[in-house]
């Protein structure tokens, strides 16, 4: 009877604690919506590390290890997908067409060159104004 009472009290305390904790949990900051996910990601990584550690110590069977690892990896993939969905999509960069520099244009044949040149590569005439 005493044991049953103790268990009931324990359950009551646990419910109380979890009930309060759920309410107290802060909403993820709107400023950084991915912060919460980053923390979850970090926790999963930690879990994976612990898992590997325990496996190496021989505390886990192959099956348990693989199973838990797979579960954690699946959770991680879910978090990653959520982060991806929250991050602003990169704007498609419009290919900028280089504006032709008029000083790089041959005044004789009209050919454009990427660099200013003394003599036109097309017609061979002098491109730069003979300013003397
Ligand atoms: Zn030319």
Distance 132 CA to ligand 1 centre (A): 21
- CA-to-CA dists, residue 17 to 9, 90, 98, angstroms: 12, 43, 65
Distance 131 CA to ligand 1 centre (A): 18
**Mean pLDDT rounded to a whole number for the chain:** 82
> 62-86 and 35-56 helices cross at what angle (nearest 10)?
170
For the chain (132 residues), the mean pLDDT of every run of 10, in chain order, is: 74 69 60 84 96 94 96 95 80 66 84 86 83 48
Distance 102 CA to ligand 1 centre (A): 13
Distance 129 CA to ligand 1 centre (A): 13
Distance 98 CA to ligand 1 centre (A): 20
Structure tokens at 54: 């325990």
Residue (of 89, 115, 119) closest to 104 by Cα position: 115
3-state DSSP of the chain: CHHHHHHHHHHHHHHHHHHHHHHHCCCCCCCCCCHHHHHHHHHHHHHHHHHHHHHHCCCCCHHHHHHHHHHHHHHHHHHHHHHHHHCCCCCCCCCCCCCCCHHHECCCCCCECCCCCCECCCCCCECCCCCC
Regarding pTM above 0.85, the answer is no
Distance 20 CA to ligand 1 centre (A): 82
At 77 the pLDDT is 96
Structure tokens at 52: 């590997």
- Domains of the chain, residue spans: 31-87
């Amino acid at each position: 009877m005493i044991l049953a009472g103790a268990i009931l009290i324990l359950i009551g305390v646990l419910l109380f604690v979890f009930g309060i904790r759920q309410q107290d949990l802060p909403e993820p900051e709107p400023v950084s919506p991915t912060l919460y996910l980053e923390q979850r990601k970090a926790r999963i990584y930690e879990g994976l590390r612990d898992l590997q550690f325990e496996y190496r110590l021989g505390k886990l069977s192959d099956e348990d290890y693989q199973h838990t690892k797979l579960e954690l990896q699946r959770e991680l993939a879910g978090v990653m997908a959520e982060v991806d969905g929250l991050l602003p999509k990169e704007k498609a960069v419009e290919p900028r067409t280089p504006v032709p520099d008029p000083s790089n244009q041959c005044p004789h044949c009209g050919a454009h060159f990427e660099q200013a040149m003394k003599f036109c590569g097309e017609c061979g005439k002098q491109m730069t104004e003979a300013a003397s």
